[in-house]
Copies of this chain bind each other. A is one copy, B any other.
Amino acid sequence: MRPVCVIGLGLIGGSVLRAAHAAGRAVWGFTDGAADVSAAESAGYEITASVDDALAKAVAEDAIVVLAVPLPAIGQILARVTAIAPECLLTDVVSVKGPVVSSVRKLAPAARFAGGHPMAGAAESGWAAGSASLFDKAAWVITVEPDTSVDTWRIMAELALDCGAHVVPTTADEHDAAVARVSHLPHVLAAVLAATGADGGPLAMALAAGSFTDGTRVAGARLDLILAMCEGNRAELLAAVDEALGKLGAARGALASTGSLRATIHSGNLGRATLTEHRRRPRTSAMIDLTSPDALEALRILGERGGRVLSIAGDIAQVDVPEAQP
């Protein structure tokens, strides 16, 4: 099994290191946090505070290099990749894909790259909050772009599968549009709700129950992490915010004019039912031959339909996809 070099040992990077190790892979990591170096070393991991050393070892062992630093730090790390390991096997776990794909094309064009994004998180951040089981049954996006090599894609998909995730293949653009709706917009709305609720003073806080607690949970996440994620997906998030503004404005208008929120709440009922149905609907199994010339397109269409890769054996990806609605 191919070794794994993780650059950045926060919640996600630290969990990739642990999960890949638990799967039997050789692993090592880089972090510039002295406390994290010693915590990870105490846990038995090989850690270095030199990104160049970590990358040099990746060259020597033809390891997968996993970039697990926040988006604003990606350019700086890619400069070291090009200097030390220009042709390395490269992936990342950043929550926005378009900017990473562009940066890699520009700054590390020789790298054998497919982008990644595990859809997993936790209330706490940092090395200490990580766990080998963070990705169990989670979706893990591995990007398919026109210039993606199927061999490279497969190497990254196998790492994600080893970590306990299932793999969702999609383009960077489709990924960014989808997560703007289901990951970044929730953070913006949670912030708006938390601020509006707190403006109600101590009585409002005393009366806050489940709907407010759930609706504001992610408003408690770390400022710099939310900003890196949301601001990095500016164009797609703008479109999602505009859609939400339109719906909220329509609710406002209906409430003011007729007093009815039926259309708003009904569409919310339908939206939530769509999520529940997606998770419960029977799924059809299928196979994708990774040696086929159409493999990349078949993977992309699978992702678009809500499908996922569950395992890879030989050259065959075992996949499933929600059954069409009756």
Contacts and interface: CB of A to CB of B under 8 A. Distances in A.
Interface of A: 119-121, 138-139, 141, 168, 170, 174-175, 177-179, 181-183, 185-220, 223, 226-227, 230-231, 234, 237-238, 240-245, 247-249, 251-252, 255-256, 259-262, 264-276, 278-279, 303-308, 322
B237 A274 contact: no
**Interface residue SS majority, chain A:** helix
Number of copies: 2
Contacts of A141: 207
Contacts of A210: 121, 217-218
Contacts of A177: 200
A247 B192 contact: yes
B185 A197 contact: yes
B274 A206 contact: no
Given A192-B268, A198-B275, A211-B218, 7 more contacts: A178-B200, A182-B211, A211-B217, A214-B217, A219-B272, A220-B273, A231-B260
Contacts of A220: 269, 272-273, 276
A222 B256 CA distance: 22
Given A219-B272, A241-B255, A264 B200 contact: no
28 contacts: A141-B207, A170-B203, A174-B203, A175-B203, A175-B207, A177-B200, A178-B207, A186-B211, A188-B251, A188-B265, A189-B215, A190-B268, A191-B265, A194-B271, A194-B272, A196-B247, A196-B271, A198-B271, A203-B306, A210-B218, A211-B218, A213-B275, A216-B271, A216-B275, A219-B272, A220-B273, A223-B269, A242-B252
